[in-house]
A = this chain, B = another copy of it.
């Protein structure tokens, strides 16, 4: 990062810094069509999977030394790289510790039809609705990618997947598979049904146990709020309500339930 041609941003109160920092807020993300990608791992995935959508990379001198490969990848993709002072990076970041690296990227969601096109004949998708906690939503996205889901469909009544806390929890998975956002859940279910995608509600009081769920065909897991689950009309509108057999007086949190269901779909596909 001793490159003399990299501009140095040193004023934490500059217009540019304020514009980047504003992306911590949903309204600014919607207005600009961009969002914050924080920390070396998420930025690496952005540059590896969606370099064309990177608007700019921001690094402190120290982070630039430590993550030379990120600078190289951004330069190779023709994306602007900005060197910043620590106070500038701290002022731009939403999280406490982006480890000296962040990027601004164009939003990554795709139209619903394109996400549905990605669901193969033996494929599966995830429908998220009424999920409010960014960490839970991010973990479900991470699991969807890890277990090979073809798409994630997020209803309008859910946390913004471009929220910096969601992006951080996905650890880059957001860039790995098609994600559609903003459709009312009723329309999401109807669109899945039209495409012959079987709808499985993840429901702790469901009548079908997971081993009987029949995961060999094209299907979508429908998952709801971390505290109270799916709205009854959503659950009853699915083809089956599936529960994970558990013992004792326990419950599973959303991320745990999603992990088990998505792993089961992956195992059914590979068997």
Contacts and interface: CB of A to CB of B under 8 A. Distances in A.
Given A256-B139, A256-B255, A259-B260, A145 B45 contact: no
A213 interface: no
A98 to B, nearest CB: 17
A178 to B, nearest CB: 13
| Copies of the protein in its oligomer | 2
A251 B48 CA distance: 16
Nearest to A171: B251
Interface residues of A, number: 34
Contacts of A173: 250
Contacts of A245: 266-267, 270
Interface in A247-271: 247-253, 255-256, 259-260, 263, 266-267, 270-271
Interface string A11-53: 0000000000000000000000000000000000100100000
A172 B249 CA distance: 9
Interface of A: 45, 48, 139, 142-143, 145-148, 171-173, 176-177, 211, 244-253, 255-256, 259-260, 263, 266-267, 270-271
Q: Which 6 A-B pairs have the closest CB atoms?
A: A146-B250, A148-B247, A146-B246, A256-B259, A259-B259, A260-B263
